[in-house]
Amino acid sequence: MDIAEIVGNRIRMYRQKQRLSQEKLAEYSELHHTYIGQLERGEKTPSIDTLYKIARGLKIPLGKLLEDIDTLKDAPTDYALQSYQLLEQQTPDNQKRLYQILQDILKMDL
């Protein structure tokens, strides 16, 4: 996973935790909503100014979007961590459903 993907995942995670749409975050950050989507998908690499605007829009310290980047970027693929990050981005109801699905899969004798 490259830096743009890691940062994009974090933006999405914090946005969803606050139950904000991309449009609302864009409004709070004074950016365009399609740009927020591109950032979240890791298609664009944000400038420091853009990260500051997004952090301000999310009402979080800028460092939250960047912490431990070097560790994650250079680490071998950690599927448990990636799975956790995917789950963390979901709503509580979806997290519960996905957890139940995972439990059912693990119970199968594959």
Per-residue model confidence as pLDDT tens digits over 72-88: 555 556 677 778 778 87
- CB neighbours of residue 98 within 10 Å: 14
Residue in 19, 18, 47 with CA at minimum distance from that of residue 7: 47
Domain harbouring 13, CATH code: 1.10.260.40
CB 109 within 8 A of CB 29: no
Q: Which residues of the chain have pLDDT under 50?
A: none
Number of domains in the chain: 1
What is the tens place of the pLDDT at every residue in 32-42? 999 999 999 99
Cα torsion angle, 84, 78, 36, 67, sign? positive
Task: Identify the domain containing residue 96 by its residue range.
Answer: 3-107
- The predicted model scores a pTM of 0.67
pLDDT at residue 60, rounded to an integer: 96
Q: Are 77 and 66 in contact (CB under 8 A)?
A: no
What pLDDT does residue 71 have? Answer: 65
